[in-house]
């Protein structure tokens, strides 16, 4: 049973446009959500996070939106750049539990 | 920021042999480290939680006798894949947490290929 779901395995976006990556979760005990960026043969690197007490967190070109009632979060990247091309993982945590990851979405930003 | 070093980054071994992967927290002490496994196009699946000075906690379905975890110091955890088989070929990643849940840091991963 997958507690964190990223239903889009891939996404292609033109440079300069907005990239929207989606993530759904099922466990209502999750109270902290994170997005990681991963290049092939490398470990994930932290991108941005959001606590369940907020509905939006912004950091430069990256904004994460949380809709608790829908158990849905999304990562917006604007404007998208070719260097943003990578696999993006959504992760969730509840209390002191280890992170639970989605399957990832491969973003390709086309110049 | 917190850095986790993982070694080796890739290894090829023969079927039946054992392989050890090291995970070090370079500038902080980690009482708990996590070991993940990633199959191609799949999520990072938590294998076990490594606790300094005590036994690791394994996730359901992970063979503790096959994936030996040792966390002998506050800066080092090791994962040994014993009697490796081709189906153990995967990408293994360790992680440590510094402070809050936002403080998870990941190693660079180890690509294991068993031939």
Q: Cβ A41–B109 below 8 Å, yes or no?
A: yes
pLDDT of residue B3: 87
pLDDT of residue B1: 66
Query: Among B10, B104, B105, which would you mutate to test the A interface (most chain A Cβ atoms within 10 Å of its Cβ)?
Result: B104
pLDDT of residue B81: 97
**Residue length, chain A?**
111
Mean pLDDT computed over every residue of chain A = 94
Percent of chain A with pLDDT over 90: 87
What is the C-alpha to C-alpha distance for residues A75 and A49, in angstroms, rounded to an integer?
10
Give the closest of B42, B93, B101 to A43, CB-based: B93
Residues of A with CB under 8 A from a CB of B: 2, 4, 9, 32, 34, 36, 41-46, 49, 89, 93, 98-104
Residue A89 pLDDT more than 70? yes
Extract the tokens encoding A99: 């992170």
Q: For B106, which residue in chain A has the nearest alpha carbon? A: A43
Residue A11 pLDDT more than 90? yes
Residues of A in Cβ contact (< 8 Å) with B6: 43
Percent of chain B with pLDDT over 90: 70
- Structural contact between residues B39 and B90, judged by C-beta atoms closer than 8 angstroms: yes
Mind listing the pLDDT tens digit for each residue in A36-83?
Answer: 999 988 889 999 999 999 999 999 999 999 999 999 999 999 999 999
Return phi, psi of residue A27, to 5°: -85, 115
- Structural contact between residues B77 and B67, judged by C-beta atoms closer than 8 angstroms: no
């Amino acid at each position: 049973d997958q507690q964190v779901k990223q239903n889009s395995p891939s996404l292609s976006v033109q440079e300069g446009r907005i990239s929207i990556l989606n993530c759904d979760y099922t466990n209502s005990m999750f109270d902290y959500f994170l997005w990681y960026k991963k290049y092939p043969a490398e470990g994930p690197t932290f991108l941005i996070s959001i606590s369940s007490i907020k509905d939006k967190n912004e950091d430069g070109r990256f904004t994460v939106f949380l809709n608790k009632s829908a158990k849905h979060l999304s990562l917006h990247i604007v404007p998208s750049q070719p260097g943003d091309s990578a696999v993006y993982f959504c992760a969730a945590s509840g209390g002191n539990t280890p992170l639970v990851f989605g399957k990832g979405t491969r973003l390709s930003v086309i110049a | 920021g917190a850095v986790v070093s993982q070694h080796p980054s890739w290894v090829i071994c023969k079927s039946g042999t054992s392989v050890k992967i090291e995970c070090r927290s370079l500038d902080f002490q980690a009482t708990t480290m996590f070991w993940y496994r990633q199959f191609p196009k799949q999520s990072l699946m938590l294998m076990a939680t490594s606790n300094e000075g005590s036994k690791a906690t394994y996730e359901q379905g992970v063979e503790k006798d096959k994936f030996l975890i040792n966390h002998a110091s506050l800066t080092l955890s090791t994962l040994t894949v014993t009697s490796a088989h081709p189906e153990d070929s995967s990408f293994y990643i360790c992680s440590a947490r510094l402070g809050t849940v936002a403080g998870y840091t990941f190693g660079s991963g180890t690509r294991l290929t068993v031939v």
